[in-house]
Amino acid sequence: MKTESPQTSAVESLLSELDLTDLPVGGTNLINAVAVGLKEIWAHKFRSALTMLGIVLGVSSLIAMSAMVKGMEIGQKEALLASGGLRKVRLEAQSVPVQQRHLRDFARGMTLSDATAIEAGVPDAEIVAPEMRLEDNPTLAANGKLFRTYMTLGVYPKQAAVSEHVVQHGRIFNDIDADEARAVCVIGTGIRDELFGRPEETGTEVIPIGKTMTINGQPFTIIGMFQLYEGEQDRKARLAAAAAKAAVLASGKKETTGPQRGRGRGGGSYAFWIKNNTVYMPLNTMWQRFQSSRSNAPAEPRLSTIEIKLHDFDRLNQSLVKIRNIMLVNHRGIEDFSFRTLEDWGEDIDRFVRNARLSGSLIAGISLFVGGIGIMNIMLASISERIREIGIRKAVGAGDLDIFTQILVESTVIALVGGLVGLLASRFVVKAIAWVAPTGNDPVITWTAMGVAFAFAAGVGVLAGLFPAFKAARMNVIQALRYD
């Protein structure tokens, strides 16, 4: 029965080579399942795209939400640092509490001796800076303009370190200025802006060192100016505006002054605003020229505040107890002072971040959940379309596990592709939100947020695929083959 034809000789070579026994065989390879999954998605592009939408929205909203919270957190922490940070403690003079009213005549207010006592008695106090504020928002005048400011302070030069002030132009006053109670001051750029004009308006930045400014009518010489304090956000916006203006000037066109975005004073920006509107003068000058000359002047300089910078935030509470004890001894038990720390602010930031994350995650989670339902739905539709295919695959040797894996991989691939698109889309979502509802703080997309969102998308894909995959794997071969 040897009918020699090309076919039969091919049979012999095939038969000799088709033997499976000595071939290294593993399970079904995953790469193949992924390839089949991708093909399946590609074959139903529109359907797959619609299915992915839920995941895309979920992932991008999760990232966008976390980016906005992160932005706000960064902005708040910047402001917190600009205000002196967590190591700063403010000891403020206050009126005698009601239950101690009868002792009112013995209260002598906060004095320099308190500062000295704290310096000596609290080893953790790195800097103790007494502060004398000129009350009732004094009037500043120079260059033919008037401005009332809140922060006009008589201080020691070391106060600058406590409040994170940096003198950029000129100098800060020295001991001779203080001893002689000279009429000299250092101003913030906000004061300069109001009295001498903003750099944006004047073209070149005015540095009014040596100029005279009156404070409540008394002439002072400006000897220094602090640097401009601003959040990262405002800095970028200012530089961008300056660049745009330069470009306009360079092109020779007439300048178009659109409506300027108001100086944000809400949230973290307020901290920078008030810092920029500060006037510093020597403590002794304040005492000699504004306090001792008043008719009801106290016998010794009255401080409004003592600012204390601690070495270590972790020992804040112990230090507060110590300071309080010293103050009570000094004040004969009269509590005409109060503490203010930025600890509460720090806690507020943390609490806000936690809450915002939680509610944002909830919304994104719902979106991902809905996306998962969509995937499950489409996978169920897909397997009932492919009953015959599943039957054929099983008939040629696919095990339940192979079919299970294939469906699971397909749903996961949909979710992963959706997740990737979501990662890309999140950039635009974030921009869109920032454009619709501008806040002081630009959203910051973090790698962590992207990783977490993507992992969630993958998880949703796996979960959504489980039931359809199980259903497909359990199909009976013959019933599936006969299905039409």
Partner 1 sequence: MALLELRGVSKLYQLGGEEIRALDDISLELNEGEFVSIIGPSGSGKTTLMHILGFLDSPTRGSVSLEGMEIGKASSRELARIRNRSIGFVFQSFNLLPKLNVVQNVELPMIYAGLGSRVRRERALKALEMVDLGNRLKNRPSQLSGGQQQRVAIARALVNNPRIILADEPTGNLDTHTGELILALFRRLAAEGRTVILVTHNPEIAAVTPRRIEIRNGKIVDHVDARLAGLHRPNPEQVPSAT
Residues found near partner 1 in the complex (CB under 8 A)? 1, 3, 5, 7-8, 10-15, 17-20, 23, 25-29, 32, 39, 43, 388-389, 391-402, 477-478, 481
Judged by CB, which is closer to partner 1: 174, or 476? 476
Judged by CB, which is closer to partner 1: 22, or 255? 22
CA gap 343, 350 in Å, rounded: 11
Judged by CB, which is closer to partner 1: 314, or 385? 385
- Could you tell me the smallest distance in angstroms from the CB atom of residue 466 to partner 1? 18
CA gap 370, 346 in Å, rounded: 36
Q: Which helix or strand (DSSP H or E) is residue 147 part of?
A: strand 145-148
Q: What is the CA radius of gyration of the chain?
A: 36
DSSP 169: E
Residue-by-residue DSSP string for 381-395? HHHHHTHHHHHHHHH
Judged by CB, which is closer to partner 1: 28, or 291? 28
- Could you tell me the smallest distance in angstroms from the CB atom of residue 37 to partner 1? 13
Judged by CB, which is closer to partner 1: 235, or 482? 482
Burial 295-321 (b: 16+ CB within 10 A, else e): eeeeeebbbbbbbbbbeeeeebeebbe
| Tally of CB atoms within 10 A around 146 | 12
- Could you tell me the smallest distance in angstroms from the CB atom of residue 28 to partner 1? 6
Judged by CB, which is closer to partner 1: 13, or 257? 13
Judged by CB, which is closer to partner 1: 134, or 480? 480
- Could you tell me the smallest distance in angstroms from the CB atom of residue 11 to partner 1? 5
Judged by CB, which is closer to partner 1: 351, or 474? 474
Is 86 in contact with 80 (CB distance < 8 Å)?
yes
Task: Give every CB contact of residue 62 below 8 A, 6+ residues apart in sequence.
Answer: 360, 361, 364, 365, 367, 368, 449, 452, 453, 456
Judged by CB, which is closer to partner 1: 164, or 400? 400
- Could you tell me the smallest distance in angstroms from the CB atom of residue 351 to partner 1? 55
Helices (H) and strands (E) in the chain, counts: 17, 12
Give φ, ψ of 323 to 5 degrees: -60, -40
Give φ, ψ of 439 to 5 degrees: -120, 170
Residue-by-residue DSSP string for 258-279? -PPPP---STHHHHHHHHHTEE
How far, in Å, are 53, 152, 168, 343 from residue 134 at the CA level? 61, 6, 24, 27
Crossing angle for the helix pair 45-82 and 232-250, nearest 10 degrees? 100
- Could you tell me the smallest distance in angstroms from the CB atom of residue 366 to partner 1? 36
- Could you tell me the smallest distance in angstroms from the CB atom of residue 422 to partner 1? 29
Residue type, 442: D
CA angle 245, 247, 251 (to 5 degrees): 120
Handedness of CA 321, 325, 328, 331 (dihedral sign): negative
- Could you tell me the smallest distance in angstroms from the CB atom of residue 247 to partner 1? 57
Judged by CB, which is closer to partner 1: 22, or 105? 22
How far, in Å, are 181, 286, 355, 471 from residue 292 at the CA level? 12, 9, 51, 90
Judged by CB, which is closer to partner 1: 30, or 166? 30
- Could you tell me the smallest distance in angstroms from the CB atom of residue 53 to partner 1? 25
- Could you tell me the smallest distance in angstroms from the CB atom of residue 384 to partner 1? 16
- Could you tell me the smallest distance in angstroms from the CB atom of residue 381 to partner 1? 16
First to last CA, the chain: 42
- Could you tell me the smallest distance in angstroms from the CB atom of residue 21 to partner 1? 9
Judged by CB, which is closer to partner 1: 27, or 259? 27
